[in-house]
Structure 1
Amino acid sequence: MKRTRLVLAGALGCVLAVGLTPTAWASTTYPAEQSNNTSTCVAGSSTSPADCAAAFAGQTDTRTGIETPLFDPPGGNVSAENVRDLLYPGSATKVFVNMMLGFCTPADGTSSPGIPRCNSNVLTQYTSDNTATVDAHLADFVRRGIDGAVMDWYGPGSRVNDATLKYQAEIRNQGYCPGGPQQCQVMYLIMYDGSTLKYPVSWTGIPNTTGSGCSTSLGGTDAENCIVARLRNDICYMNGLHFGNDAYQKYNGRPMLQFFINEGGMYPNLPKTGPAPSWEDVWFWIRQWTDNMQVNCSGAPAGSPNYAADNGMPLLLFENAGGFTHAQSDGAFDWVNPTQNQDDLRISPASTGGTVDNFYTTSLNYLSSKVVWGVAYKGFNDVQSAWGANRLIDQRCGQTWVLSLASARNNGYSSSRQLPFVQIATWNDYNEGTPIETGIDNCYQVAASVSGSTLTWQANAANGNANPATISHWLVFDSTDGGSSYQQIASLAAGSTSYDLSGLPAGTHTLFVKMVGRADILNQVSGTVTYASSGPPPSSWIDEQVQFLANHQLPDGALLGPGNSINPYFANLAAVGLARADTATGNTVLYKWMQWYLNHLNSTDSKGLSDTIYDYNYDPTTGAESSTGHYDSVDSYASTALNVAYTGYLTGDSRIQALVANNIGTYEAIANLDDYGAPKGVRDTDNLTMAVPGGAKYTMDNSEVAGGLADFAQLEAALGRTDQHNYYLAWHDATVSAITEKLWNTTKNTWDWALGSASDLTGTFYPNATAQLWPTLFGVVPPDSTDATSAWKAFTDRWTDWFDDKIVDSYPWTAMARAGQLNGKPDQASHLLSTLHDTYAPDWGGNWYDDEAGWFILGAKGMDP
């Protein structure tokens, strides 16, 4: 019997996936896909603040040995992928960015040689308290899915407070808070920066408070008294102007307040712990104050804001893992803790204080009783800051960013143990080289090319630290007007390196590929390439094959072919074509066939195997179906049934999906025929499957097994069965390894047609020639691999007119059309389909049967995604 096989796994999975209902993507342009989409100042950018003084040029560290010299790139095209995906699956964590609000222009006397500054801050070219800057930042937060900002705050009357109030107002003015209190699309809270204690701020006029600065030279008692009075003043101000705002972030009804204070160094005469005078005593008095602000914050002069409002007692949060045991602590936030060693990322190990891992492992002890704020950061470099101390954390081309976020899942957080908050350090601290506002460079450049009908691309690393873990997925864009406008035509997984163009409409196409980074990574695009397509066959040809199969279906669901035989293997190939067509008629035929197949499985067959299926004969006179008690090969029958289950499930037809889900145990039993050894299955110890009956280890059969297991692994994943997905994927991988190691003939550069049996391309078409096609059709090897190209060359050197329907065999072998598409010959594949249509239409008689119909659909749909 002829062994004709199917496009599966890499090939079928690709062919079928693109056959689903296309997504309608908006028109775009080549410049738009690489232009700035951040709030960074970039010339001509619509997303930058409207009043930028100039373009931000980026920041570079030119010192010898610096691994990432351009540590803050200019603004670019940044990924808006969900940052929570980098924390752990199912994360519901609130994501905040830490905001610096003191940037201004132009440069002033705080500049140093080669480093222009304004008010001791490097020039970002925007002014933080301008409405245009605030609006640009808010829009960027929303685009990236950021929940809010932690404002690095310097007290009442400061420009930083003015900027904070601008954010508060613009959250309302821009419509980001339609849902009322605690329901804003962008929230905020305050991080009290301890350096403000040294400088005077606006006084609230409340008794027992002060707006005066507290000199760092004060003695212990004077320092404590001044700091307590000043903190009281500032917290009352927050209560009146911030804590009650709809957008101020609370936790269990209480406003959160972070303290970023160098208690051990800023006031040398005031110890951190111990009896008064001490910082420990400072916080005792602050707690007494905040526990009753309705009384303590009263007494302000007439006309003042309502500093004594009941907005909830603030939660006092302190820095790093030690913040959990800090005096009067309600929780802790982690922070970036750099050293002068750029290779110490300060993420691990958990046993070392100051690392992210250490914070998370410590936090688990307090998760039920205190507030936990994790941290994420891209790196650190303070070479440009006015207070730089040569502190460094290298960015590792985005790896530091990814690893800092992954620390949460690596240290106990998950969908069942949620991390409440994470703070990105920072959004825009350009002084210390931590901003993610501009995007994080993953050090890749993208190159694309076209060979035949295949678009290929590669990510070329410009730095040894470039890592594919920073890539989310790839987008393919197509233009039919010479590059004036583009349409996205595909979204592909991160590991993808090629795309089949044979399905594009006739005409000249200009294409490019876009690498979409993980959250907040800079996206990259390739140059443009061109492709001339001959176009797909008419869609009516597919309908003809669907109707052909419908006409050859018996009332109980059996599919006839060839003649009056019912061959489950051939019918499975036809069924995959029906799934690929995905029409109402085709899905009904498919559903009925799947029912028939499941209803005719053997409990135990003549070989002692379970869940196999025999061939049947049909008597058109009596309408009876009778078993032959025979099958051609267990492994291929089983694997193609798995293809039918997965591709049928992909149609979305509710009947088929329910049938598959309700019979998943039976399908697993079918799959196990191909992964169990004797006596329960047909896999040998060398990980090749044996044909039963016969015992041969065919290249075509084993390719089908690899494809069937790959499809079935994807089906298990679609049903949420992760362990089963991993199990069958592992068997697929083992099969692929066995095929490539044992069935490739290194002497002849062709596939052997069976283990120990070299293919003779001067001999019969089957199995010598067909064995050269099946590993590529099944995705065992990619079309651009050395093995695939060598096998295709051997095939076409012998069968030069394969596309003219001149193969000397009993059947037309329509599978060659899809093989031609995959091997970069779409025009010849189209010619074969046209020739077959001219030969067999409209009657589709003679040696045309269900298997050929299935392959015809696959070829036609492969050219018309």
Structure 2
Amino acid sequence: MMLNKGKRRITLALGLCLLFGQACSGGAPVPEKPVTASPVSLEKSVNQAKPPAANPLYEDILNREAAWLSSLQLENGAIPMSPGGGPYRVVPYFTNIALLGLLEKPEQAPVVRKYMDWYFAHLNRTAGPDVPLGSIFDYTVEADQRTEKASGDFDSTDSYASTFLNLLRKYAEATGDTEYLLTHRSDIELIAGAMLSTKQADGLTWAKPAYRVKYLMDNTEVYKGLVDMEWISGTVFGDKAGAAAYRKHKKDVFAGIEKMLWSDDKNAYAFAKMEGGELSYPNWDTFYADATAQLFPIWTGVLAPDSKRAQQLYAAFNEHHPGWPQLNKGDAFPWALLAYTAAIMGDRTRVDAFLESVRTTYLDRDHPWPWYVMESGVTMLAAAHMANMKKE
């Protein structure tokens, strides 16, 4: 059975390659979903936010990618996968993660807010058998940058929602604009409901109602979404009971990941649990989804980076796929998410090698495909994390 994440990384990626007339072989991977870098504290406004420590490499990446990402915004507020003359492909999951990186430059907050306005305006407000209330479809926007058509589908309902909740929290902390979240409270709670709509008795979520597979990647993202929804509910909404409810869901998902997916015997997580209960454990030599999924618990905060398990998983990944910092993985996409994970692990050598590689391969060449929004934003997250990390 083709995996949902494989569909996101492979089916979607290959479709986009065909759409943009590009070959999808060699060099880099399709991204998964990343998480936010350490957010700016709530007390700091856009103008007060402390800039990352000066570093020629990191500053260059942050400045260039902020300019590129913001330039992609369409008139209607949507941000597509990549530039062009239209039609534009808008995949909210990828944009959500990309803008987590853009908020490393808080002066770009108006771009993020305009996109969030678009997202709220496109929520599915009528539920169906396979369409949860508060979910959102992928969209195509025509060359006029306003005429839109919903695809009628989404790659997932759990991760689209969770990553938007990540974005809401980071926006609030980067800008201090909690009023925006308060204004949209009912919609935010709808989105949280969509995230949890496929949660099962074992604590894990199906990717979407019509695709009943429980993915390690999705569920770690749901965990992160619940961390942020607990914060939004308690800190912004002042709703202690609501925060407690999301905390309970968070603990359920965490327990599901640890009890249902982790194997002491294999020293690895199952990257998928099928509807019938069958577990898929990784072949470490298979880059995606087997090996890459093992890093998701690290950047989503399920595992502390200094924990023994995180260290073992990260070491195993690098042992089996040592060439990723040089974009040597036999995969069509850069996989900036690997660099962000490496940054969280404090691995400056590999992060810097990756940043130099993508700067030469993509940034200096005007961002050719398969560079796209999520790669850009997650590269910003990695650069910002390194800029803010104490020098060794």
TM-score normalised by length of structure 1: 0.38
1:688 counterpart SS class: coil
Name the counterpart of 2:245: 727
Q: Deviations over 1:165-186 (max 9, x none)?
A: xxxxxxxxxxxxxxxxxxxxxx
Count of matched residue positions in the alignment of Structure 1 and Structure 2: 342
CA distance in 2, matches of 1:812, 1:724: 39
CA distance in 1, matches of 2:217, 2:141: 28
CA distance in 1, matches of 2:312, 2:80: 37
* Offset, 1:573: 0.5
Q: Deviations over 1:561-595 (max 9, x none)?
A: 05620001001011211223212xx2111001000
Shift of the 725–621 alpha-carbon distance from structure 1 to 2, 3 Å rule, reads: closer
* Offset, 1:805: 1.5
**AA paired with 1:7?**
V
Name the counterpart of 1:569: 93
* Offset, 1:559: 0.5
**2:62 is equivalent to residue 546 of structure 1:** no
CA distance in 1, matches of 2:141, 2:231: 35
Name the counterpart of 2:222: 705
**2:35 is equivalent to residue 7 of structure 1:** yes
1:852 counterpart SS class: helix
Q: Deviations over 1:399-439 (max 9, x none)?
A: xxxxxxxxxxxxxxxxxxxxxxxxxxxxxxxxxxxxxxxxx
**2:212 is equivalent to residue 689 of structure 1:** no
* Offset, 1:691: 1.0
* Offset, 1:718: 2.2
Shift of the 18–660 alpha-carbon distance from structure 1 to 2, 3 Å rule, reads: closer
CA distance in 2, matches of 1:805, 1:589: 30
2:141 counterpart SS class: strand
Name the counterpart of 1:560: 80
Shift of the 810–604 alpha-carbon distance from structure 1 to 2, 3 Å rule, reads: farther
CA distance in 1, matches of 2:133, 2:372: 29
Q: Deviations over 1:536-583 (max 9, x none)?
A: 733232121111112211111100105620001001011211223212
* Offset, 1:827: 2.0
Name the counterpart of 1:70: none
Name the counterpart of 2:271: 753
* Offset, 1:659: 2.2
1:537 counterpart SS class: helix
1:667 counterpart SS class: helix
Name the counterpart of 1:16: 39
- Pick the aligned partner of 1:805 from 324, 327, 341: 327
**AA paired with 2:387?**
D
Once the two structures are overlaid, the 10-residue window that deviates more, 795-804 or 627-636, is: 795-804
RMSD value, Cα: 2.2
CA distance in 1, matches of 2:330, 2:269: 21
* Offset, 1:689: 0.4
2:104 counterpart SS class: helix
**AA paired with 2:101?**
G
Shift of the 19–861 alpha-carbon distance from structure 1 to 2, 3 Å rule, reads: farther
Larger RCO, structures 1/2 (Cα 8 Å, 6+ apart): 2
* Offset, 1:782: 0.6
Within 5 A, what are the aligned runs for 1:263-278?
A: none
Q: Deviations over 1:233-288 (max 9, x none)?
A: xxxxxxxxxxxxxxxxxxxxxxxxxxxxxxxxxxxxxxxxxxxxxxxxxxxxxxxx
* Offset, 1:661: 1.2
CA contact (8 A) 2:297 2:303 kept: yes
Shift of the 736–537 alpha-carbon distance from structure 1 to 2, 3 Å rule, reads: farther
**AA paired with 1:682?**
T
Q: Deviations over 1:130-170 (max 9, x none)?
A: xxxxxxxxxxxxxxxxxxxxxxxxxxxxxxxxxxxxxxxxx
Q: Deviations over 1:355-381 (max 9, x none)?
A: xxxxxxxxxxxxxxxxxxxxxxxxxxx
- Pick the aligned partner of 1:794 from 316, 327, 348: 316
**AA paired with 1:784?**
D
Shift of the 568–753 alpha-carbon distance from structure 1 to 2, 3 Å rule, reads: same
**AA paired with 1:560?**
P
CA distance in 1, matches of 2:42, 2:321: 30
Within 5 A, what are the aligned runs for 1:209-220?
A: none
Within 5 A, what are the aligned runs for 1:241-390?
A: none
* Offset, 1:18: 7.0
* Offset, 1:839: 1.2
- Pick the aligned partner of 1:666 from 187, 195, 204: 187
CA contact (8 A) 2:42 2:174 kept: no
Q: Deviations over 1:176-219 (max 9, x none)?
A: xxxxxxxxxxxxxxxxxxxxxxxxxxxxxxxxxxxxxxxxxxxx
Name the counterpart of 1:817: 339
CA distance in 1, matches of 2:220, 2:136: 20
Structure 1: which 5+ runs fail to align? 23-502, 506-534, 676-680
**AA paired with 1:6?**
P
Name the counterpart of 1:635: 158
Identical-pair percentage: 28
Q: Flag the structure with larger Rg.
A: 1
Q: Deviations over 1:85-144 (max 9, x none)?
A: xxxxxxxxxxxxxxxxxxxxxxxxxxxxxxxxxxxxxxxxxxxxxxxxxxxxxxxxxxxx
CA contact (8 A) 1:566 1:615 kept: yes
2:350 counterpart SS class: helix
Within 5 A, what are the aligned runs for 1:286-685?
A: 537-562=57-82, 564-583=88-107, 586-606=108-128, 607-620=130-143, 623-652=146-175, 654=177, 657-675=178-196, 681-685=197-201
CA distance in 2, matches of 1:748, 1:536: 42
CA distance in 1, matches of 2:380, 2:145: 32
CA distance in 2, matches of 1:549, 1:856: 12
2:387 counterpart SS class: coil
Once the two structures are overlaid, the 10-residue window that deviates more, 538-547 or 623-632, is: 538-547
**2:233 is equivalent to residue 716 of structure 1:** yes
- Pick the aligned partner of 1:782 from 282, 304, 307: 304
CA distance in 1, matches of 2:65, 2:352: 16
CA contact (8 A) 1:504 1:536 kept: no
CA contact (8 A) 1:575 1:593 kept: no
CA distance in 1, matches of 2:373, 2:384: 17
TM-score normalised by length of structure 2: 0.82
Q: Indicate the structure with greater strand content.
A: 1
1:16 counterpart SS class: coil
Structure 2: which 5+ runs fail to align? 1-7, 10-30, 46-51, 274-278
* Offset, 1:760: 1.2
Shift of the 20–794 alpha-carbon distance from structure 1 to 2, 3 Å rule, reads: farther
1:565 counterpart SS class: strand
CA contact (8 A) 2:35 2:97 kept: no
Q: Indicate the structure with greater helix content.
A: 2
* Offset, 1:699: 0.3
Once the two structures are overlaid, the 10-residue window that deviates more, 831-840 or 604-613, is: 604-613
CA distance in 1, matches of 2:82, 2:127: 24
CA contact (8 A) 2:69 2:373 kept: yes
CA distance in 1, matches of 2:282, 2:162: 24
* Offset, 1:621: 5.8
**AA paired with 1:717?**
G
Name the counterpart of 1:303: none
1:651 counterpart SS class: helix
**AA paired with 2:367?**
W
CA distance in 2, matches of 1:623, 1:661: 28
CA contact (8 A) 2:76 2:146 kept: no
CA distance in 2, matches of 1:716, 1:757: 35
Q: Deviations over 1:797-829 (max 9, x none)?
A: 101122112122121001111111222311211
